[in-house]
């Protein structure tokens, strides 16, 4: 997105820039939200993860979930908008927002191509190759922690930490490496499992690419509720450096909904 | 959503109910709330500044990736750059912030990094460390390896062929004996350690290096040294350079070519590209023997190369050699200005101007030696030309404050002095965040205590080290004069390096200064009167500073001792003055300095001569005072915090095991005397029960040394001067005042924070108060965070909300829903920010987005009802908004502005509904335009044509959101006018009102014209009805407004 290409600094362009910056921020950060509403656990890590999987419905139930559609509201920097997220195994996703009555695909991935909507032209554009590769390696539905060993992931218990006053187990999930700027970067996520309720209340991811590289994004989970035998966090709040970047609350979650065949595909122009 | 009681959920509920019972009983038993939960969402805000940065002690470049650099700092932790040193992120916030060394594992440089804590540049104000840490993920998380009592770690050397083999050089305690000094080795990655070289309890490892080609060859520099509060000694018979060629099993001195006699601090470096070549820099008995030595046979023989000033200056502070990784002849030596040799040490040039003096370390880009980085007392710098020209990194807020004060401006300003970086004033909020240019310099040299005149903050008092100068600055006129007191005949005044000066809350023109005497001025420093005798122990043995330094004389004033260090006039009675001295005396006068009583003997459990670091006179009771003592200069790291309630006759310790780090400063709350704020060497601690229990404040608050804490009386902001991370503010402590036992037992408690003022600065409703124009910072520069201008709904939750729905809604007094906000769900204090904006209007759908349509008007002032729904429970409270009394607009104008904004708001929604109706007709008629019935087909075609024509001047139907934008139509014009009016405060301008008239006419026209389209639709529907085709139905306006699309 060419946010920086506004040439004349008039008040109009100032407003324009501020607005586009907000949208840009959404594009940057919103993508992580809801994509990996996943979780792990452990007195040893394995036990914590097993407890978690059991708590949210059990491996059998999770494995039966081939797709999910969530609709609700998201807000970012005071702007609220309707949001729809569709996930499909093994790692397809699409997040759609509605602005002024117009539906925009903020981010989608069909397993091969990751794409977004350019906010200037409102046209779909493919994401860069390295970003797409990150999608390929991290999009994992229904949950990266489900059967994590079979997928070649490793987990480790990193001790205990209080998150917002709640004692938690800290668990690291390692999913190998991905090439960024020609160099292998570790794919690591940290989960903080509430010791009492066994579900994660926060997940920490580190940006692998771009000017935020190395910065952590914290996603907080709450309003866990049950849908057809599975427990989902209905509210997620994403923070960077303590500032809320995006907040989303789901109203409806449908398990195994009907999904069009090409729902995730990049629309050919 | 209704819960289905499945097996899983039942299991969950069972667990939760069990645990909540446990929680309740725990609460009753402990009767208090401790830890992070006490503070909940209260969050520290970093203000900086970074324009002068702060002391960086160690730098380490990744061996192959030029983009990755680590720095260790004197008091600000460890930072990492992943962009070649343009920006850095702090990666060590939770741990001791005083860093000795950072080392990257050459075999796993992307992941494994070791950090040794405890700065090794042993100046008087240096902090101390608490051990060795390691990360296996590039700094995302850290594990403490041990060495708790190491105090300071000088070097970590990792075998490049074996990550498990690591040598650690422990310099050890600065202020006392220690058997923890020496060289340690692990062969199992840090699980177990062997001490492989130990000299004695006074001699530690100052430098350690290995031959990267022969990792079993190790060189170790051992240094005999000691600092006291009043002297420093470098050197002795035990200082030496050792070599081992068997991995540390055996050692021998390698002094051939060195001078005889005692040695002081030694640094040693191997040239990585020619490892038989070594450089060392030594401190020796004779001046001419000091300086740089070179060996080309692996240290077996040494030849002196230079004893230039930069090679010999202050060895305890500048003992670092770095050799170019590619060129054995290029060597860099830390120093006052530092120097570079390109001919193997024969000749040197200084780094040059433009770099902050006192340079401690360097690193080279692994692929291009012309790209260099340096660490100094003023942060880090980068050079692209081999070290001739340097540019500063402006994103490192490492400033080391000794003290802070505040004034009563709006927003208030913060005043304070910095280690080697002068005295400063900066705002607590500014237009585009607090930028470098917002700070004003008000003093040179090292800065310490800076005070505004309490009634006239145009007048500021500042000082430099040892009260060499105390200034009175007239800010408006940008003029200053010196006002420090002078000695009387036959007298010598002893001023501490960090001389206490303070103002009085009882007399605005009063100023106190402490030498060994207490001096007072009632005319802003023009004239002085001594109001005490010598209040110190006046121990002559502690007044031999001319002898300080050891092998290199170092009488900078930093060791001045037997001086007054803290002065506190009671805010209740100006006759009551407390003072504390650096040699342990607490003295009280109850008659304005005529008589003094030494209270030291009344304080039990405190070692003799423990430095009285801060006394706080209570603002609630004249007989109550708090004193904190800092024993670290006697090698005592205990936390001493005392309170008296009987005018000093007896003192009670309020230090508990909750506290860590020597105590530096205490602040009593102005409202709740049981609420105390304590700054220690390891962070901020707070008690809400008068010191029975303390909790460390962690939210965005590093474990940094808090040298001074003060509280803003009007804004309830806790302001901290940290020694390594600049000024840190916690904006509103009022919720802590209300945390009574009663509140702690409630499930939910709303705090009453009084009226919220709807600030108008910045000019943009809905923007941050200070979010207007004015930002000048470029990418990578540090910008201090502004306080929030949002209205805050603050409540206490006894327990985190994790399961089931929880929502927070606001209603106006008529019961209309104004907004729904994301509820805070954490245990303890929650803060929900409300931007006081209405929902955006629904604007007409078009080809492109309308920027104006993303605006919202502010709500009207008044009372709003808060409804917090947590499962089936509902909790209610209210919040009251009031107009900004500082406004330039009348209330009537502001009300009128709001009225017009709302008129435009509804006009936008009216147009949106108009367009929705034609769009709906268009949508239904489109498939009928190919209908087999010719009449239907033709009528549909005509209708579509008419709609297209109708829409042409109503909404944009072509173009994009950028420079391909089409001509704005009614929707865009209407939304833009709305945006302007809603985005400003006060009466709309004449032009805006005139435009409103035009828009109203256009909108009315659109509505009128719509009638014709609707009539056509009705006629068309009759036709459809006749033919049995489904009719075109329109939704009501309310249905449209309620729909998402």
H or E segment at A155?
strand A154-163
Q: Which residues contact B762 (CB under 8 A, 6 or more apart)?
A: B431, B768, B769, B770, B771, B772
Question: Which residues of chain A lie closer than 8 angstroms to B801, CB-CB?
Answer: 222-223
For A78, the closest of B89, B804, B837 (CB atoms) is B837
Q: Which residues, in sequence order, are CB contacts of B496 under 8 Å at separation 6+?
A: B466, B514, B560, B561, B563, B564, B565, B582
DSSP string, B269-299: EE-TTSTT-EEEEEEESSGGG-EEEEESSTT
Question: Which residues of chain B have a CB within 8 Å of the CB of A119?
Answer: 849, 961
Non-local CB neighbours of B21 within 8 Å, separated by 6+ positions: none
The closest alpha carbon to B637, from B668, B659, B616, belongs to: B659
Nearest to A197 among B15, B807, B853 (CB): B15
pLDDT band at B762 (very low <50, low <70, confident <90, very high): low
Is pLDDT of B688 > 90? yes
Report which of B638, B631, B691, B699 is spatially closest to residue B666, judged by C-alpha positions: B691
Mutation for A interface: B962, B965, B982, most A CBs within 10 A:
B962
Q: Is B149 in contact with B175 (CB distance < 8 Å)? A: no
Surface of A (52-91) touching B: CB under 8 A: 54-58, 75, 78-80, 82
CA dihedral (B50, B52, B55, B59) positive or negative: positive
CB contact under 8 A, B140 and A237: no
Whether residue B35 and residue A57 make contact (CB cut-off 8 A), yes or no, is: no
**CATH of A9-255 among 2.50.20.10, 1.10.3720.10, 3.30.360.10, 3.40.50.150:** 2.50.20.10
Query: Average pLDDT for residues B234-247, to the nearest whole number?
Result: 98
Q: What is the pLDDT of residue A21?
A: 45
The radius of gyration of chain A's CA atoms, rounded to the nearest angstrom, is 18
- The pair of structure tokens assigned to B388 is 């001739």
Asked whether the predicted pLDDT for residue B59 surpasses 50, the reply is: yes
Q: How far is CA B186 from CA B99, B189, B388, in A?
A: 21, 6, 40
| Residues belonging to chain B | 1045
Contact B1045 A190 (CB under 8 A): no
Count of A–B CB contacts within 8 Å?
171
CB B835 to CB A78 under 8 A?
yes
Structure tokens at B649: 């006759």
Residue B723 is classified by DSSP as B
Distance CA B77, CA B66 (A): 22
B1021 phi-psi bin (left φ>0, alpha ψ -120 to 50, beta other): alpha
pLDDT tops 50 at residue A8 = no
**Mean pLDDT across B557-564:** 95
Question: Is the Cβ pair A213, B15 closer than 8 Å?
Answer: no
Residue A269 is predicted with a pLDDT of: 67
pLDDT at B19: 32
Q: Could you report the per-residue pLDDT of B949-1001, keeping only the tens digit for each?
A: 999 888 888 777 777 777 788 999 999 999 999 988 999 999 999 999 999 99
Confidence grade of residue B6 (pLDDT, cut at 50, 70, 90): very low
Q: For a pLDDT cut of 90, what percent of chain A falls above it? A: 67
CATH code, residues B438-660+686-700+730-745: 2.130.10
Q: How far is the C-alpha of A60 from the C-alpha of B1034, rounded, in Å?
A: 47
Interatomic CA distance for residues B434 and B45, integer angstroms: 11
* Residue B479 burial (CB count, 10 A): 9
* Cα separation values, B251 from B375, B545, B896, Å: 32, 37, 87
> Per-residue confidence at B136, pLDDT binned at 50, 70, 90?
very high
Q: Chain A closest CA to B7's CA: distance in Å? A: 8
- For the segment B169-227, what is each residue's pLDDT rounded down to a tens digit? 999 999 999 999 999 999 999 999 999 999 999 999 999 999 999 999 999 999 999 99
In the prediction, which pLDDT does A12 show? 37
CB contact at 8 A, B148 and B110: no
User: What is the structure's pLDDT at B16?
Assistant: 32
Helix (H), strand (E), coil (C) string for B348-360: CEECCCCCCCCEE
Count other Cβ atoms within 10 Å, centred on residue A17.
Answer: 16
Strand partners for B280: B268, B293
Decide if B8 and A56 are in contact by the 8 Å CB cutoff: yes
Provide the edge-to-edge strand list for the sheet that holds B577-581: B564-569, B577-581, B586-589, B597-598
pLDDT tens sequence across B570-608: 999 999 999 999 999 999 999 999 999 999 999 999 999
Rounded to an integer, the average pLDDT of B32-46 is 90
pLDDT category at A4 given cuts 50, 70, 90 is very low
Query: Which residues of B fall within a CB distance of 8 Å from A194?
Result: 800, 802
Q: Mean pLDDT throughout B879-897?
A: 95
Contact check, Cβ <8 Å, A78/B962: no
- In A, residues 186-245, which contact B (CB 8 Å cutoff)? 186, 188, 190, 194, 196-199, 201, 206, 211, 213-216, 221-231, 234-235, 237, 241-242, 244
Which of B827, B839, B964 has its CB closest to that of A166?
B827
What three-state secondary structure class fits B923?
Answer: helix
Supply A260's token pair.
């069009």
Q: Are B100 and B116 contacting, i.e. CB atoms less than 8 angstroms apart?
A: yes
- pLDDT value at residue B517: 98
Instruction: Looking at the complex, report in whole angstroms how far the Cα of residue B364 sits from the nearest Cα belonging to chain A.
Output: 21
Q: Bigger pLDDT: B425 or A80?
A: B425
Q: Which residues of B259-282 are buried (b: 16+ CB within 10 A; e: fewer)?
A: beebbbbbbbbbbbeebbbbbbbb
- The mean per-residue pLDDT over the stretch B439-458 comes to 96
Give the tens place of pLDDT for each residue, A203-234.
Answer: 999 988 888 888 899 999 999 999 999 999 99
Q: Is A102 on the interface with B (CB under 8 A)?
A: yes
A99-133 confidence digits (pLDDT tens): 888 899 999 999 999 999 998 888 999 999 999 99
Taking CA–CA distances from B851, the nearest residue in chain A reads A16
Q: Residue A43 — very low, low, confident or very high, per pLDDT cuts 50/70/90?
A: low
Q: How distant is the Cα of B8 from the closest Cα of chain A, in angstroms?
A: 6
Q: Tell me which chain B residue has its CA closest to the CA of residue A193.
A: B802
Q: How far apart are CA B39 and CA B699, in angstroms?
A: 8
What whole-number distance in Å separates Cα of residue B973 and Cα of residue B995?
9
pLDDT value of position B848: 85
What whole-number distance in Å separates Cα of residue A34 and Cα of residue A31?
A: 8
For residue A158, list chain B residues with Cβ-Cβ distance below 8 A.
141
pLDDT digits (tens, 9 = 90+) for B642-676: 999 999 999 999 999 999 999 999 999 999 999 99
Cα Rg of chain B, angstroms: 35
C-alpha triplet B910, B962, B433: angle, nearest 5° = 90
Q: Write out the two tokens for B915.
A: 């367009």
* CB-based contact A225 B699, cutoff 8 Å: no
Spatial CB neighbours of B517, under 8 Å, sequence gap ≥ 6: B493, B530, B531, B532, B533, B534, B535, B564
Q: What pLDDT, on the 0 to 100 scale, is given for residue B993?
A: 97
Give, for B530, the enclosing helix (H) or strand (E). strand B529-530
Chain B residues whose CB is inside 8 A of the A16 CB are 851
Lowest mean pLDDT: which of A76-80, B438-442, B827-831?
A76-80
Tell me, yes or no, if A154 comes closer than 8 A to chain B by beta carbon. Answer: no
């Amino acid at each position: 997105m060419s946010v920086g290409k506004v040439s004349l600094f008039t008040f109009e362009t100032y407003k324009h820039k501020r607005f586009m910056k907000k949208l840009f921020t959404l594009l940057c950060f919103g993508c992580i939200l809801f994509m990996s509403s996943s979780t792990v656990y452990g007195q040893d890590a394995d036990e914590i993860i097993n407890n978690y999987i059991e708590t949210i419905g059990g491996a059998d139930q999770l494995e039966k979930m081939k797709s999910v559609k969530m609709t609700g509201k998201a807000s970012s920097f005071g702007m609220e908008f309707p949001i729809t997220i569709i996930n499909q195994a093994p790692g397809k996703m699409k997040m759609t927002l509605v602005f002024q009555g117009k539906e925009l695909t903020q981010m989608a991935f069909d397993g091969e191509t990751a794409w977004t909507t350019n906010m200037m032209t409102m046209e779909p554009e493919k994401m860069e190759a390295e970003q797409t590769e990150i999608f390929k390696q991290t999009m994992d539905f229904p949950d990266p922690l489900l059967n994590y060993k079979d997928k070649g992931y490793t987990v480790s218990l990193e001790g205990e930490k209080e998150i917002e006053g709640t004692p938690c187990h800290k668990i690291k999930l390692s999913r190998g490496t991905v090439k960024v700027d020609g160099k292998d970067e570790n794919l690591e996520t940290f989960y903080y499992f509430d010791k009492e309720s066994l579900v994660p209340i926060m997940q920490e991811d580190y940006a692998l690419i771009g000017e935020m590289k190395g910065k952590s994004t914290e996603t907080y989970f709450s309003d866990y509720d049950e849908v057809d035998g599975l427990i989902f966090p209905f509210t997620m709040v994403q923070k960077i450096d303590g500032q809320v970047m995006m907040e989303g609350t789901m109203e409806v979650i449908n398990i195994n909904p009907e999904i069009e065949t090409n729902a995730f595909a990049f629309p050919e122009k | 959503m209704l819960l289905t009681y499945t097996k899983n959920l039942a299991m969950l509920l069972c667990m939760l109910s069990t645990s909540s019972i446990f929680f309740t009983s725990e609460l009753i038993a402990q009767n208090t709330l401790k830890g992070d939960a006490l503070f909940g969402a209260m969050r520290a805000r970093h203000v900086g500044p970074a324009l002068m940065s702060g002391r960086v002690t160690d730098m380490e470049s990744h061996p192959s990736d030029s983009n990755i650099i680590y720095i260790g700092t004197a008091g600000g932790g460890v930072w990492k750059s992943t962009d070649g040193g343009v920006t850095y992120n702090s990666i060590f916030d939770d741990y001791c912030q005083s860093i000795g060394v950072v080392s990257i594992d050459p075999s796993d440089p992307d992941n494994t990094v070791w950090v040794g804590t405890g700065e090794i540049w042993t100046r008087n104000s240096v902090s101390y460390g608490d051990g060795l840490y390691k990360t296996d993920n590039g700094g995302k998380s850290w594990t403490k390896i041990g060495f708790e009592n190491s105090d300071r770690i000088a070097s970590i050397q990792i075998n490049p062929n074996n990550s498990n083999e690591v040598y650690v050089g422990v310099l050890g305690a600065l202020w006392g004996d220690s058997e923890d000094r020496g060289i340690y080795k692990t062969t199992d990655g840090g699980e177990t350690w062997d001490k492989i070289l130990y000299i004695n309890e006074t001699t530690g490892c100052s430098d350690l290096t290995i031959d990267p080609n022969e990792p079993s060859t190790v060189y170790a520099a051992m240094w005999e040294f000691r600092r006291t509060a009043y002297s420093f000694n470098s050197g002795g018979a035990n200082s030496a350079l050792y070599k081992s060629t068997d991995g540390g099993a055996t050692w021998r001195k390698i002094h051939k070519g060195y001078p005889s006699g005692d040695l002081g601090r030694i640094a040693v470096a191997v040239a990585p590209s020619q490892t038989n070549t070594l450089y060392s820099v030594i401190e020796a008995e004779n001046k001419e023997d000091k300086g740089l030595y070179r060996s080309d046979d692996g240290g077996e023989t040494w030849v002196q190369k230079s004893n230039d000033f930069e090679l010999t200056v202050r060895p305890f502070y500048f003992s670092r050699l770095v050799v170019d990784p590619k060129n054995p002849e290029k060597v860099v030596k830390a120093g006052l200005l530092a120097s570079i040799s390109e001919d193997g040490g024969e000749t040197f040039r200084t780094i040059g101007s433009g770099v902050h003096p006192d340079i401690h370390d360097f690193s080279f880009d692994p692929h291009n030696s012309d790209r260099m980085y340096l660490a100094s007392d003023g942060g880090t710098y980068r050079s692209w030309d081999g070290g001739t020209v340097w540019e500063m990194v402006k994103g490192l807020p490492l400033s080391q404050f000794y003290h802070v004060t505040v004034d009563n401006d709006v927003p208030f300003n913060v005043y304070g002095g910095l280690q080697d970086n002068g005295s400063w004033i900066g705002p607590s909020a500014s237009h585009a965040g607090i930028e470098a240019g917002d700070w004003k310099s008000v003093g040179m040299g090292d800065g310490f205590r800076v005070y505004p005149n309490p009634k006239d903050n145009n007048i500021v008092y500042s000082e430099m080290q040892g009260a060499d100068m105390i200034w009175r600055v007239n800010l408006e006129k940008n003029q200053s004069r010196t006002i420090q007191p002078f000695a009387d005949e036959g007298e010598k005044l002893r001023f501490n390096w960090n001389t206490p000066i303070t103002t009085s809350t009882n007399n605005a023109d009063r100023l106190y200064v402490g030498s060994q005497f207490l001096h007072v001025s009632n005319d802003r420093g023009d004239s002085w009167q001594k109001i005490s005798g010598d209040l110190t122990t006046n121990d002559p043995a502690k007044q031999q500073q001319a002898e300080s330094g050891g092998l290199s004389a170092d009488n900078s004033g930093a060791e001045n001792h037997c001086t007054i260090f803290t002065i506190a006039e009671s805010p209740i009675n100006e006759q009551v003055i407390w003072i504390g001295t650096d040699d342990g005396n607490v003295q009280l006068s109850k008659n304005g300095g005529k008589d003094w009583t030494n209270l030291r003997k009344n304080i039990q459990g405190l070692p003799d001569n423990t430095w009285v670091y801060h006394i706080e006179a209570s603002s609630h009771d004249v007989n109550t005072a708090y004193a904190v003592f800092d024993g670290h200069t006697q090698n005592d790291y205990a936390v001493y915090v005392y309170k008296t309630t009987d005018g000093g006759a007896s003192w009670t310790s309020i230090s508990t095991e909750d506290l860590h780090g020597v105590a530096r400063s205490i602040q009593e709350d102005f409202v709740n005397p049981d609420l105390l704020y304590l700054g220690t060497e390891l962070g901020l601690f707070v008690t809400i029960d008068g010191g029975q229990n303390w909790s460390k404040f962690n939210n965005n608050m590093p474990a940094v040394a808090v040298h001074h804490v003060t509280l803003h009386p009007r804004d309830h902001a806790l302001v901290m001067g940290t020694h390594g991370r600049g000024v840190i503010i916690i904006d509103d402590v009022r919720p802590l005042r209300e945390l009574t036992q009663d509140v702690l037992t409630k499930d939910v408690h709303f705090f009453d924070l009084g009226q919220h003022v709807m600030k108008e600065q910045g000019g943009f409703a809905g923007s941050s108060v200070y979010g207007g124009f004015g930002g000048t910072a470029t990418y990578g520069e540090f910008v201090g965070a502004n306080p929030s201008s949002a209205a805050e709904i603050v409540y206490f939750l006894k327990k985190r909300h994790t399961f089931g729905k929880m929502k927070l809604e606001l209603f106006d007094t008529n019961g209309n829903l104004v907004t729904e906000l994301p509820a805070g769900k954490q245990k303890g204090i929650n803060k929900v920010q409300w931007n006081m904006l209405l929902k955006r209007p629904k604007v007409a759908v078009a080809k492109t987005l309308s920027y104006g349509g993303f605006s919202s008007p502010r709500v009207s002032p008044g009372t709003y009802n808060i409804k917090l729904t947590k499962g089936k429970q509902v909790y209610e409270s209210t919040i009251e908004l009031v107009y900004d009394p500082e406004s330039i607009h009348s209330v009537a104008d502001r009300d009128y502005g709001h009225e017009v904004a709302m008129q435009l708001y509804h006009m936008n929604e009216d147009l949106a509904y108009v367009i929705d109706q034609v769009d709906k007709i268009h949508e239904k008629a489109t498939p009928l335009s190919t209908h087999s019935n010719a009449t239907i087909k033709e009528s549909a075609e005509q209708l579509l044509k008419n709609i297209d024509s109708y829409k042409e001047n109503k909404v944009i139907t072509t173009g994009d959101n950028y420079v391909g934008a089409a001509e704005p139509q009614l929707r865009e014009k209407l939304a833009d006018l709305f945006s302007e009016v809603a985005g400003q405060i006060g009466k709309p301008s004449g032009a805006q009102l005139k435009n409103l008239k035009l828009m109203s006419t256009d909108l009315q026209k659109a509505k009128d014209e719509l009638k014709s389209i609707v009539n056509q639709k009705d006629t068309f529907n009759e036709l459809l009805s006749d033919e049995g085709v489904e009719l075109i139905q329109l939704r009501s306006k309310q249905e449209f407004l309620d729909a998402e699309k």
